[in-house]
Amino acid sequence: MKKLVHPLVALMILALGAFIVSPAQAKVYMPATGATFNDPNGTRDQQTVLMRQIIEAVNNVPSGSIIRVVAYSFDYQPVADALLAAKKRGAQVRLLIDSHASTAQIKQLRKALGTGTSDGSYLRTCKYSCMANKPSFIHSKLYLFSRTGGATRVSMNSSANPAWTGVNKSWNNTYTTVDKTLYDANVDNFNDMLPDKTNTDYYHTVESPPLKEYFFPRAGSTKNSDTIYNILSDVGCSKTGPKTTVRLTTYFWTSARLYLAEKLSAMRKAGCNVEVIYPDGSGSQDTIYPEVTAELRSGAIDTWNTRPNAGLYVHNKVILIEGTYQGVGGQQLVYATSQNLTLTSLRESNEVMLRIPNLPAYGAYLGNFQQIKSQSVKIIGSAAKTTEKTAGVDSASEKRSKKAPKDNSPDPDE
């Protein structure tokens, strides 16, 4: 004999039916691939978008999966809270954080995760970078997830540290991939750093077409072993043919790599359009050496400074190439890196760079470049008006402060 459903129960089932979702129908989190940018001048959501992207991925890592983070600085509590929660639910959390500062969040994570590797979770530091025996830094910003939501082998290559300065003080970018080759290369890089053993001849590249990743430090003593110099050398400039445009943003630029500014001047003279955005100020904000500014001025390179805008700074380290590259016209390339234009960044520190040759990414990075430019002050260039007010913007950089950072100094803003 069949059991009858009580009428009241039947009505309740009918009423609730619209709210009952089977596991198969539940939406599974998938990380958004491609480029993401924050805006320190924007709304709270626009400021925190890169941090929320990290947190969302961390929150969707299941028990037994592995989170790896490489960063220069860390004081953003919501990311720390997400990592601690992931550890409690059974995920392995592995952090490599530079030793230049010890914040409350780093202390909290070190206490919870430990420093030993036996249980799969830890927070480790290196004396300098993990591959040098002289002042240098863990300066990569990598967020790696063996699994998060419905995706496996997720890499976030970023300029943003899990720090407040990357929220409301600076412009940053993240490029997310779901790619086994790049993920495995990033994990290998993480594991190669763990021993804290000198190896400044570490430079190598890994390709997962169309993407290519570069790992530093790179041995050498001349500009010919500078990857960025070689990239610029492959750009084709012409005074008569189609114009090639090179756009560059950087945070720190010292005289040790003055030859990069000289190369840009030569490229402009040869017919390329060249645009630069940097953050230059006085005292502890003096991150652009006067020799660099003088060379950009001499070459009439169109240059914008973000510092006059409430002291904000561009923390993106990006090169955009539109035009002829390696003899092929009509190209649009993005090089997004963690590397400042200092000698330490090239020869001693742990850094990464990603080449992204595709139209959607180029359009996104170009839009971000133009946005930052619109919020900056033009200080150099053939079209710049040399008024007293404009000239004064970068005058502080012409007088090197005694407190100015040296080539191997940490990011003074971080």
Question: Using one digit for the tens of pLDDT, what is the confidence trace for 93-118?
Answer: 999 999 999 999 999 999 999 999 88
Structure tokens at 56: 């969302």
- How would DSSP label each residue in 42-76? S-HHHHHHHHHHHHHHHHTPPTT-EEEEEES----
Whether 373 has a pLDDT exceeding 60, the answer reads yes
> Using an 8 Å Cβ cutoff, are 72 and 137 in contact?
yes
What's residue 388's pLDDT?
A: 28
Position 411 confidence tier, pLDDT thresholds 50, 70, 90: confident
Amino acid identity, residue 37?
A: F
Identical fold for domains 34-199 and 220-398, yes or no, is yes
120-148 pLDDT, tens digit each: 999 999 999 999 999 999 999 999 999 99
Domain boundary assignment for the chain = 34-199, 220-398
Longest dimension (CA), the chain: 97
Pick the CATH number of 220-398 from 3.30.870.10, 1.10.3720.10, 3.40.1710.10, 3.30.450.70: 3.30.870.10
Q: Average of pLDDT values for 350-360?
A: 94
Fold category of 34-199 in CATH: Endonuclease; Chain A (3.30.870)
273-323 pLDDT, tens digit each: 999 999 998 877 889 999 999 999 999 999 999 999 788 999 999 999 999
H/E segment holding residue 320: strand 317-325
Task: Read off the pTM.
Answer: 0.90
Average pLDDT, the chain: 90
